[in-house]
Structure 1
Amino acid sequence: MTDNASLQTPHPDDLDALPDAARRVALLLRERGHAGHVVMLAETGKTSAEAAAGLDCTVAQIAKSILFRRKHDDAPVLVVASGANRVDEQKVAAQVGEIGRADAKFVREKTGYAIGGVCPIGHATPPVTLIDADLLALDSLWAAAGHPHAVFNLSPQQLVELTGAPVADVALRESA
């Protein structure tokens, strides 16, 4: 973990110091045997670049959670992608069916989190989930922990284990 002064790590036993949604994530991580702790960024982590700056890591190490709406049944589709990548919606649709954009109300209703704080786990409605294959090339990742200022550290393998999701090529590649 970084020694960046912009991080505030509440004592693991003092979950009351966390916002409600971040506390829920911390408890869920604990229940699932994840040893990491939820940390609070001094500045918002709503974008991958903001989070990376606050964590003193690369943008690629930010495991951003992007929610889509599957068109045929309105199911939430979660793509956990590298912060350095744009998601190729056609690749995602090839895996899960036709998708569309999800508005803030849909995101909050289906995940229980606000945009900018969507965690890869603990959703109100379990989503169809895909993990960006590019994340597996990294040693360490940071993911949102239920609040725009809250994050937690994990390995790509832990992300796969926590979500139970398949790994897929979801990144938009520039054509030559």
Structure 2
Amino acid sequence: MVSVCFMVCIALERFLVIVCPLWYRCRRSIKSSVLICVLVWVVPPVIFFLHIFRRNPLPIFLLLPFPLFIFFLVGVLKALSASISVPSDEKRRIVGILVLVLLIYTLLFLPFIIWMLRQIYNGTLYNLSLMFVRLSPLADLVLYIFMRKGIIEKILASVCCCRKDSNDISSSSV
């Protein structure tokens, strides 16, 4: 649940940076970031505690990010298509992060949410969906790698087949 909440925070942050850059720049502070992180760590255990006592807010809590991710992605696509000041590689990186967040959520968490909503025990679906949820830390690592600026280029440069020789044509050897 915490992973899903942080993915929502990442998508919301990208959305606000692109769609409302001036508002976001004025409102961003360390206090608000710390408060959001504390809320992200406090709210999921409360929801889980309510779920244990059969109030069942857990599937709804986990299903709520899906329309948010789609809304953030569509909003960013619209804003970036109208923007001429953002370089195309930066546009691809921003959209790629949001698409990756949506894919991680859809592929890893949605099967478990569907299993929870069905309320019918199916061993195969349960085991498969639980295996996908357990892959979430690996997906978080991939998301972190894509969020870092220039890390993909560094990874590709470290692979021997992608190395480029730095022969400078302008310098002459005498």
More strand by share: 1
More helix by share: 2
Under TM normalisation by the shorter chain, which class is it? under 0.3
